Amino acid sequence: MSDSIPTPGTVYLVGAGPGDPDLLTLRAARLVMQAGLIVHDGLVDPAILALARPAARLISVAKSRSRHTMAQDAINALMVREALAGNDVVRLKGGDPFVFGRGGEEAEACRAAGVAVQVVPGISAAMGAAAAAQIPLTHRDSASIVSFVAGQCKGLTEQDWSGLAGKGRTLVIYMGVATSEAISEKLMADGLAPETPLAVIENASRPNMRVLRGPVAGLADLVAREKIKSPALIVIGHVTAQPENELRAFALEIAQ
């Protein structure tokens, strides 16, 4: 008698939020605690992974600039292979799966292989970091438009960012620490005033969170001086402004 073909499992693309386990959705927490297999990114906080059952298999597919533990195609293949073998897969991703999380590519790969996919949204890095730093992304007096961009991607220098930041607007840059100098130069070349205030939020919502502020022209110096590391988010616009006397100090520093 031949072996029966197992019923395929389901891949759950789960957003882990900005880091604090308390910011998981109830459904995300339940899936993590019940999972037999968790495929997770490097930005998922260890405190979240600690919620998993002792018997659960945890597979890290952490990525960093110029170094990948596992290429995206291999991650897709891993999820599909496990699901076709009859296993449910919790694909745990920092922030939200569909906001710079490559969740769209993973969902497409699963559907192409006949594997069912469910998406569990998470608090995005932008929302979580801004809330933790008490920076409103929109404010009736300061900003009615918010834009999200990736600071580390192909063709960065060719992209047109003009109009994304400035009066009445907030610009949130993901993955921008390594390219901070190019980002600063690009924004000013596209017309943004050098003294425009910004905040860099490192390790948002975690015990070691830092919020560092300065002008756009000083972004690269700020990153180097403070030794800022990922995960970090850059928020640009007047919603990040400190009291007026500190803004004047920024402007004076640029003028010198």
The conformational region for residue 17 under phi > 0 = left, psi -120 to 50 = alpha, else beta, is left
State the Rg of the chain over Cα.
20
CA distances from 142 to 137, 174, 235, 244 (A): 9, 21, 13, 14
Q: Are 48 and 24 in contact, with CB atoms under 8 Å apart? A: yes
Nearest residue to 124 via CA among 134, 116, 132, 113:
132
Q: In sequence order, which residues have a C-beta less than 8 Å from that of residue 184 and are 6 or more positions away? A: 216, 217, 218, 219, 220
Whether 63 is catalytic is yes
Catalytic option among 20, 41, 45, 88 = 41
| Alpha-carbon dihedral angle through residues 107, 112, 116, 118, given to the nearest 10 degrees | 10
Query: Is 229 known to be catalytic?
Result: no
Q: At what angle do helices 72-84 and 103-112 cross, to 10 degrees?
A: 40
Indicate the SS3 state at residue 3. coil
* Strand duo 10-15 + 89-93: pairing: parallel
Q: Which residues, 6+ apart, have CB-to-CB distance to 180 below 8 Å?
A: 151, 219, 220, 222, 223, 234
**Which residues carry out catalysis?**
41, 63
